[in-house]
Structure 1
Amino acid sequence: MARNIEIKAVCRDRAALQARIEALAGAPTADLRQDDSFFVCAAGRLKLRDFGNGHGELIAYERPDTPEPSLSSYTRSETEDPAGLRATLTRALGCWVRVVKTRQLYMAGRTRIHLDRVEGLGDFVELEVVLEAEERPADGQREAERLMGQLGIEAHDLCVNAYADMLAADG
């Protein structure tokens, strides 16, 4: 199972944050549109990510709802039929909520930096520090905190909940 340390924060000044990210990481490595369907499941979360180009991935993950840098463990499986898989999973499990976003992906060493615009919510930044198989989560947490400082991400901007939770609460 893959693991990373994650944070999510509200982006109050997108242009300023983007400039700091690009000074640290360079240009984005990808501009993505993602349509994530979250399904009802007994443990953790299950989402289908549709990239809008005939490709997608099913992702099962567990992560605590906490604002500080926290451990996320996940498995992914690629699909060439995200629409068909969405229909099947919706019929079998029920679709809880859909999250549609545009994402600019940057890399700073082993950390994925996402500058997201989420439909219905606004702008956010995520950090995902990818951990090695035997690496301690505390090492990734320190790295996330260092990057937060470099990017000017304040503790009061950190989010407790996932985008799906935020949208479900608004709906």
Structure 2
Amino acid sequence: MREIETKYRVADPDALLAALREAGVTLGDPVLQDDQVYAPVGWEPGMSRVGRTFCRLRTQDGLHVFTAKTPAANPMEHTEHETAVADRGQMHAAVVRMGYVPSLRIVKERRVGALRDTLVCVDRVEGLGTFLELEVVVDDDRDGPAVQAESDRWARGLGVELEHTTDTYDILVRAAGST
């Protein structure tokens, strides 16, 4: 499976929520996601991510999920493998043993809805603010940048102020910490 994302920093979260309701998107209740991100040994911020596998260990509602992502054409399009794990501490130890380096922790409150084949996420990320993330999961050879362009047209049609970003949350969190 490939996940193709398009992400925006949101200037006015209340305006976004109203626009999503008007567009027919019903968001679920907020859930807290606690993510530990892992980078491959030798990778440093600023290096290309394309073709390198990164990992995430997420806890949400007491459940732990391990994810491996390998960026394709850009960091917002990647193949993804994901599974539930019973013990976060043991999985963390296994990932480190496999040679991955814990890079940073990202905590966010997420609300999720759907519109056709698009997962619509409104994230409030600690230390960063609010973001709109559109995710399309495909199992075919659709062109990632074309899917991202279609998602962008839809997001722009909401009529709210959005700042498009191609950075993942870990890059944004790292940049916010250095300012």
TM range, smaller chain: 0.7 to 0.9
Deviation sequence 1:87-141 (CA, Å, 0-9, x none): 4434653311000000000101110111000011111111112224243435523
**Matched pairs, number:** 164
1:130 aligns with 2:137: yes
1:145 aligned counterpart, secondary structure: helix
Identical positions, percent: 26
2:95 aligned counterpart, secondary structure: helix
The range that moved more, 16-25 or 90-99, is: 90-99
| TM-score, normalised by the number of residues in structure 2 | 0.79
Quote the Cα distance in structure 2 between the aligned partners of 1:22 and 1:84: 41
Alignment-derived partner of residue 47 in structure 2 = none
Q: CA RMSD in A?
A: 2.3
1:60 aligns with 2:68: yes
Quote the Cα distance in structure 2 between the aligned partners of 1:22 and 1:89: 40
1:120 aligned counterpart, secondary structure: coil
Query: Does the 8 A contact of 1:30 with 1:106 survive in 2?
Result: no
2:142 aligned counterpart, secondary structure: coil
Query: 1:61 is matched by which residue type in structure 2?
Result: K
Query: Does the 8 A contact of 2:10 with 2:132 survive in 1?
Result: yes
CA positional deviation for 1:165: 1.2
Alignment-derived partner of residue 121 in structure 1 = 128
CA 1:93/1:3 → structure 2, altered by over 3 Å: closer, same or farther?
Answer: closer
Once the two structures are superposed, the pairs formed by residues 32-111 of structure 1 within 5 Å of their partners are: 32-42=31-41, 43-53=52-62, 55-63=63-71, 64-65=74-75, 70-90=76-96, 93-111=100-118
5+ residue gaps, structure 2, are 42-51
| TM-score, normalised by the number of residues in structure 1 | 0.82
2:30 aligned counterpart, secondary structure: strand
Alignment-derived partner of residue 10 in structure 2 = 11
Query: Does the 8 A contact of 1:57 with 1:79 survive in 2?
Result: yes
5+ residue gaps, structure 1, are none
CA 1:90/1:22 → structure 2, altered by over 3 Å: closer, same or farther?
Answer: farther
